[in-house]
A = this chain, B = another copy of it.
Amino acid sequence: MCGIVGIVDAGGVSFPLYYALYALQHRGQESAGISTFEDRTLYTHKAQGLVAGVFNSQTLQDLQGNAGIGHVRYPTTGSKVPENVQPFNFRYRGLDLAIAHNGNLVNTAELREEYEHRGQIFCTTADTEIIGNIIADALRTSKSMEDAVLLCMRRLRGSYATVALLNNTVYAFRDPLGIKPLCIGKLDNGYIIASESVAIDALDGTFIRDVRPGELVRIDESGLTSTQIATANRKAYCIFEYVYFARADSVMDGTLVYDVRRRIGQKLYDANPVEADTACPVPDSGIAYAAGYAKRSGIPFIEGLMKNRYMGRTFIMPTQEQRERAVRIKLNTVRGNLKDKRVVLIDDSVVRGTTSRRIVNMIRDAGAEEIHLRVGSPPIIAPCYLGVDMPTRTELIASGKEVEAVRESVGATSLTYIPLEDLVEAIGCGEQNLCTGCLTGCYPVEINGERSCHCVVDYVAGTHQSDLSTFKAGKERT
């Protein structure tokens, strides 16, 4: 899971990209990078670390130009190699291309094999390099980005929200199923494309609309144009963006994430009403859930857990033996809000079960009489191949275990997961438009050894259509 952004703005883009990446920091804390272009030169600065650590005034001033892209990267296992830090740059006959990508391909090995067979040598192990190679290779022969992206959409299998900087033009495209989010905003003197609308907000821009699945958007100094490259008979929006990953203040594919989470909270009560004294969120994402739960149930919203905000990279954790009891260095119980109380504890998900067990224990130690764990997502029973860093099946507590067994394992008085249909309803776009792979084991793209739902993708002979007409000034959202 990563965050991406592309900006064209007449007033320079490095500072806006910096603020946009900062707004997307929750999507990746492992590394950050920016590429800009001016006067035949591609500038890139990227390194491991948080946005505020990677860049300083000088590095931002050195990133000249009115067009650029940026990236923040999530630390996935085994991939902390500096060479995987994005954006990636590609050079080909005087052409300068930079690419940043959010998502995960499932046919990388196959594609690399093919391109290696044709002679391409790769520098890294990252998905992004194969995307860049397909594009640059296509540009080599046809010179049209539309064709290049069409080729990508035909060949890439998996999720790929992508921004590309080709000279002083920014391109953005999203896989035909729209698995990863991407949206468009208007700035005072240009446009922004970003993973989430909060990046637009950070620049005081105006949200226009989401990039459509299968769409290629192009922004340069003359404005924004769009081409529909492919259309599918369904969408496959990642359900976990709504449940956990996205910021609550983001509007994603037409829906405010906060609203989804409040509705989930309401439905969690409806599905299994319980008498209790407090509706207590697990911070941070649980707060919207608990707000919805409290509203519906009449059980007051009261925090029973407080998070310490000052945890930094260099913080020394207690030694292994002390670790179990030392969760509270990060997360403290508000004893007075829990003691002798019947507590509804509302969390977004239960993955391995270890964190839930520790939290339930802490709350019980604080004197809670009953702990009713309510979970904002159905049981996770299968891995994600499309960009969310999830454990293997054997590590998933819900994989092959009944709810009652999970409840006992985490030590709660009662445990209810939200039913899938309720979750789908809370999101509002229909199950056929969501990727529910981790919840059902059935994936919207073909994956070796897994079941897959049937998708039909139609490739359009790209006809340009200006978006400018569809966007009528003002601050409305579609």
Contact = CB atoms under 8 A, between A and B. Distances in A.
Nearest to A313: B52
A450 interface: no
B306 A248 contact: yes
B82 A247 contact: no
Contacts of A335: 201, 249, 251, 256, 477
A90 B121 contact: yes
A462 interface: no
B303 A288 contact: yes
Interface stretch (A14-22, A350-358, A396-404): A14-22
Main DSSP-derived SS at the A contact region: mixed
Interface in A299-331: 300-303, 306, 308-316, 318, 325-326, 328-329
Nearest to A204: B325
Contacts of A312: 50, 52-53
A336 interface: yes
Contact of A60 (B89, B132, B248, B316): B316
A294 interface: yes
A91 interface: yes
Contacts of A89: 83, 123-124
Contact of A332 (B140, B198, B316): B198
A47 interface: yes
Nearest to A317: B19
A93 interface: yes
Interface residues of A, number: 90
Interface stretch (A111-119, A218-226, A382-390, A434-442): A111-119
B140 A119 contact: yes
A56 B313 CA distance: 11
A301 B291 contact: yes
A67 interface: no
Contacts of A248: 303, 306, 334
A51 interface: yes
A162 interface: no
Contact of A137 (B121, B124, B259): B121
Interface in A194-215: 198, 201-202, 204
A241 to B, nearest CB: 16
A201 B256 CA distance: 37
Contacts of A112: 91, 93
A308 B23 contact: yes
A477 B367 CA distance: 12
Given A116-B140, A258-B303, A308 B91 contact: no
28 contacts: A15-B316, A15-B318, A19-B326, A22-B315, A25-B308, A25-B310, A44-B83, A47-B82, A52-B310, A52-B312, A52-B314, A83-B89, A88-B123, A90-B121, A90-B123, A91-B121, A92-B116, A119-B137, A119-B140, A121-B133, A248-B306, A249-B332, A256-B335, A258-B302, A258-B336, A258-B337, A291-B300, A309-B309
Given A45-B82, A92-B116, A258-B334, 18 more contacts: A22-B315, A22-B329, A25-B310, A44-B81, A53-B312, A53-B314, A55-B316, A57-B316, A83-B89, A91-B122, A91-B123, A91-B125, A119-B140, A123-B129, A198-B332, A201-B335, A259-B337, A335-B477
